[in-house]
Each structure stands twice: as C-alpha cells, then as structure tokens.
Amino acid sequence: MLDYAAFPEQRQALIRQILQQNGRAICSDLAAQLQVSEHTIRRDLHELSKEGICKKVYGGAVLQLKDGENFTHRKAHNHAEKGLLAQRCVELVKNGTCIFIDTGTTNLAMASAFPDDLQLTVVTNAPDIAAVLLKHPLIEVIMLGGQIQKNIGGCVGSSALDQLRTIIFDQAFIGGCAMSAETGLTGFDYADCEFKKAAIRQSNQTIVALTANKIPGIARFTVARCDEIDVLVVEETLSREAINAFEAEEITLLMV
C-alpha cells in the first residue's frame, strides 16, 4: 500500500481524482483515508487551488469547473435531462402571473414546454426563448433588449438592466454554470452573473434548474447563495452527499 504521507505528488493526484469524481472533497475524510493530518490535506488543497483545480471552502474544497462551450453548442447536449427539468419547472408556473426566464438551454426547453392553455406574461433577455414563446397563443412576451452576447445567448448590458429594474416578477427562472451547497450558484461571465443578481432582486421567488454535471462545482463569479434561491430542480441521479448538503441549507429540492 502506498504511503501517501511520504509521496505528496501521488497524494495530490488522488485528491484531484476525488474532486473530479465527486465535485467536492472533505478534509477530515481525506485525512482518514490517506492517513495524514488535516493540516497536510489543507496544504494539498491550497496547492490544487493555485492550479485552478478547486476552490477552498470551510472544511474542504469544491471542484472549479472549466469555462463551458458557447450557447449554440450547449443546445445540442443533454436533451432528455433538460426536457425533464424543464417540464418540472413548467409545473411550478401559475396562470396569470408575470415571470422572468433567463438565458440557458434548460430554460429554452422550458419555453417549449408551456401548455397552450397557460396564460401569463414572460419577460426574457434571450431571443431564442422569445421566438419560441411568440408562437404560444396566450403568452405575452416582453423582450429585454440591447446587444446580444453570443456566448450566453442573451442581452445583459445596461439597456436590458434598465428595463429589468422596472418590472416585479412573481417568479424568476435563473440559469447557472455551477452550484454547490458551500458556494451557491456561480457562472463564468461577469456581466451575465450581475444581470442574474438583478433579476433575483426583482423577483418574489427564485427557481434554478441544473443538470447533474454542474453539481457540485464552482465557476468564477457568484450569482446567489443557497439562501437566496427558493427552489432547486435537479436530476434524481444527484449524489446523496450533494442532496444532504443542499437540504442542510434549507433550500427546497425538486428531483426528476
């Protein structure tokens, strides 16, 4: 059996592997598994964080995800999973309300799943979502305008922000790049994340739907803490460890 105390490179390689597999690492668990002190593990996590592998959090670390593909490419992935998440989100929408739908491929699937008899107002900064909803017989569409950022598929500049701040939403369906119980919802684009924060402030209820590959993980910029998100819609394949961590944050979990 390898003496991990004597071989720091091999120890850090194993920790890197655990982070890739589980999305998070806990100091006490790693110390017991590798038979080294928690101080040694914290030092290892510090070294890995300098490489951009993880972000240190209380009691351990969370995997730092790499910047994803652009919006056009993301639309081609995980159709079935996004469809299930989208349908569950649609079930949360009430007739006669005003909601905000953020950019994102899961939210695009949600726009396609609204039943024909649902009547409401949808505000969006995503042209693809607006185009889908224009075909709906009873949905009024308000498109927030300005320059479209192709990598995120929506408008997040000052014009769109000014319009956003004049509307109060019953619900906001917010997209994200990564999430963990420790760090909350995060994203890769600074302007997009600031826009999401503004949308959350304008809404009475915030709902986030994420595929399992984004949990747990952390991206570069913060969007919202767990206590700022009312409902998290996730796949039932999410690990029990991640589920327990979110439940401890008192966020409502809906699994599909």
What is the band of 24 on the pLDDT scale with cuts at 50, 70, 90?
Answer: confident
Cα distances (Å, whole numbers) of residue 207 to 48, 60, 156:
32, 27, 19
Amino acid residing at 68 = G
- pLDDT tens per residue across span 229-252: 999 999 999 988 889 999 999 899
State which CATH number among 2.60.40.10, 1.10.110.30, 3.20.20.140, 1.10.10.10 fits the domain covering 8-63.
1.10.10.10
The domain limits of the chain are: 8-63, 71-255
Domain 71-255 sits in CATH at 3.40.50.1360
**In the block, which residue shows the tokens 């402030």?**
201
> Averaged over 11-32, what is the pLDDT?
89
Instruction: Report, as an integer, the average pLDDT of 4-19.
Output: 84
**Strand ranges in the chain using DSSP code E only, listed in sequence order:** 24-26, 54-57, 60-63, 98-101, 120-124, 139-143, 148-149, 154-155, 171-174, 178-180, 184-187, 206-209, 221-224, 231-234, 252-255
- Mean pLDDT, the chain, integer: 91
- Cβ burial of 97 (10 Å; 0-12, 13-18, 19+) is middle
Tokens representing 191 are 């302007």
Return the residue matching tokens 């730092």: 64
Please tell me the distance from the alpha carbon of residue 200 to that of residue 71, in angstroms, as a whole number: 22
Tokens of 119: 């009547």
The span from the CA of 229 to the CA of 155, in Å, is 22
- The owner of tokens 């790693």 is 30
Q: Label residues 48-71 b or e (16+ Cβ within 10 Å = b).
A: beeeebbbbbeebbbbbbeebeeb
Residue-wise pLDDT for 34-56, tens only, equals 889 999 999 999 999 888 888 88
Q: pTM score, two decimals?
A: 0.83
Instruction: Please give the pLDDT value at position 242.
Output: 87
- Please enumerate in sequence order all residues whose Cβ is within 8 A of that of 41, keeping only pairs 6 or more positions apart, or say none: 15, 27, 30, 31, 34
